[in-house]
Chain A
């Protein structure tokens, strides 16, 4: 089995066998490319096989994530000076409305594929306790923050039917949740908040 040993022709596939194998390999490659790779990578599914196999969903999620990623990069191209100015201005305005130990309850429904966001304006060191209840389905979420060019993710979940806890703002900025329903059922989310924060913004 080492290099000194020449192959014995009788052990090797004949030319006819090789030609046949090449054709089979070629056809298999084309078939897999069309029914498996295109749906899974690009959500392109001309035969409908990808959908049956659950691979088209993978392609769709990929494209969606790619799009969101590119949009995110777009946001970060806003000049930093402008961002800093904007956030310090809004900080000035909001600081007047600052209240200790504020509380809110936010409720919304998410159809399959839908997304929703709740953002709290917080200062570094502010703490918020939360209870998130999910009924009817399960949701993915990301509890994260942006501000002054910084970003952080405090907690992530997928297929979650609820969560509770608290977090301390790591820096001044917008802190909050992003939800997405990847389930096939409509889910209702109830978020109860208690803690120190200024403005609450919500929307899909």
Chain B
């Protein structure tokens, strides 16, 4: 009886510790993204003041862009949500990284201009897609499972196009452009790995729990809602700030 009570207390303490950890991690990240939202114009200001090869500053800006860009992180979270083996995580994250690097570099180099609102709306859609996919709804609705690797690669290419549009807004100097662009890309991957590390640690604690599968399903509903919100925001922006001009 006593041991049972202690066990229950222990479980409650553990559960609250876990919830607290998630809350702290989430609020730290949200604060960072909110702050970054205000300072991003100053990133552009800095870039417009400098020229020549500046590898580490550009790598920093790439990493910052990735970590504070919640659209990319949410998609990454969706991709690894039910990947339990490190080998699978490595394969899928590489596909995503390969995809966004290709279109980011080529997009800036050849100046493929895609409307930032439209590409961001598509990125929002990628979050919805992955969440719906995770919930197994495509299999239910379509009768088959769309190839998950292909989807990760294709959405990677689209995320890269979004990155390219953002970088072009920065107006990086022609002087040192290629080296700086490559450094920015390396920074994006470093930022992605840092974010992935944090995600995998938190998921590691969560996955050990029996309730993970049930809670994971609901978490993917939230993920889909976040995607819908992000997409709606971009479409709203397109209609009110862009199409009207």
Instruction: Mark A residues whose CB is within 8 Å of B.
Output: 1-9, 11-13, 15, 17-18, 21-22, 25, 28, 32, 36, 40-41, 53-55, 57-58, 61-62, 65-66, 138, 140, 156, 158-159, 180, 182
User: Inside 8 A of B197's CB, which chain A residues have their CB?
Assistant: 21, 25
Chain B 194-211 interface 0/1 with A at a Cβ cutoff of 8 Å (1 = within): 100110110011011000
Instruction: Kindly report which residue of chain A lies nearest to residue B59, judged by CB atoms.
Output: A53
Residue of A nearest to B174 (CB): A159
A-B contact pairs, 15 of them (CB 8 A): A1-B82, A3-B216, A4-B136, A4-B213, A7-B208, A21-B200, A36-B60, A41-B39, A53-B57, A54-B54, A58-B46, A61-B46, A65-B46, A66-B42, A180-B49
Leading 8 A-B pairs by shortest Cβ distance: A159-B51, A65-B45, A11-B84, A7-B84, A53-B56, A13-B204, A7-B207, A62-B42
Kindly identify which residue among B54, B64, B136, B204 contacts A18, using a CB–CB cutoff of 8 Å.
B204
| A3 partner, pick from B60, B88, B220, beta carbons under 8 A | B220
A28 to B198, CA, bound (A): 11
Contact between B204 and A182, CB atoms less than 8 A apart: no
Cβ-based interface call for B217 (8 A): yes
* Closest beta carbon of chain B to A195's beta carbon, Å: 28
Using A15-B208, A58-B46 as known contacts, say yes or no to A25 and B60 having CB atoms under 8 A apart. no
Task: Write the nearest CB–CB distance from B89 to chain A, whole angstroms.
Answer: 10
Bound form: Cα–Cα A199–B57 in Å: 42
Residues of chain B within 8 A (CB-CB) of A180 are 49
> Number of residue pairs across A and B with beta carbons under 8 Å?
99
Please tell me if B212 contacts chain A, counting CB pairs below 8 Å: yes
A22: which B residues are within 8 A, CB to CB? 201
Contact A61–B50 (Cβ < 8 Å): yes
Is there contact, CB below 8 Å, between A25 and B46? no
Cα-based distance from A5 to B139 in the complex (angstroms): 14
Contact A11 B85 (CB under 8 A): yes
By a CB distance below 8 angstroms, the chain A residues around B234 are none
Query: With the chains together, A38 CA to B45 CA distance in Å?
Result: 18
- Taking the complex as formed, is B233 at the interface, i.e. its CB lies under 8 A from any CB of chain A? no
Task: Give every chain B residue within 8 A of A15 (Cβ-Cβ).
Answer: 208
User: Which residues of chain A are within 8 angstroms of B177 by Cβ–Cβ distance?
Assistant: none
Size class of the B contact interface (CB-based, 8 Å): 35 or more
- Cα separation A166 to B220 with both chains bound (whole Å): 58
Bitwise, B125-149 to A at CB < 8 A (1) or not (0) is 0000000011110010000010010
* B52 close to A (CB within 8 Å): yes
Residues of A within 8 A of B54 (CB): 54
- Chain B residues with Cβ under 8 A from A158's Cβ? 48-51, 173
Distance between B192 CB and nearest chain A CB, rounded to angstroms: 15
Instruction: Give the CA-CA distance A15 to B64 in the complex, in Å.
Output: 30
Residue of B nearest to A63 (CB): B42
Q: How far is the CA of A13 from the CA of B85 in the complex (A)?
A: 10
> Are B84 and A55 in contact (CB-based, < 8 A)?
no
Contact of B57 among A17, A32, A40 (CB under 8 A): A40
Shortest Cβ gap from B134 to chain A (Å): 6
A66 nearest CB neighbor, chain B only = B42
Across the interface, do A1 and B60 meet the contact criterion of CB distance under 8 Å? Answer: no
Residue of B nearest to A160 (CB): B51
Please determine whether B198 and A25 come into contact, CB atoms closer than 8 angstroms: yes
Contact B213 A62 (CB under 8 A): no
Nearest residue (CB) in A for B148 is A1
Expressed in whole angstroms, the Cα–Cα distance for A54 and B180 within the complex equals: 14
Bound form: Cα–Cα A12–B200 in Å = 10
Indicate the member of A7, A36, A40 with the most B CB atoms within 10 Å.
Answer: A7
Q: Which of A1, A9, A22, A156 has the most CB of B within 10 A?
A: A1
Could you say which of A21, A36, A54, A156 contacts B201, with CB atoms under 8 Å apart?
Answer: A21
A159 and B204 contact, Cβ closer than 8 Å, known pairs A61-B50, A182-B49:
no
Contact B204 A21 (CB under 8 A): yes
A135 to B149, CA, bound (A): 55
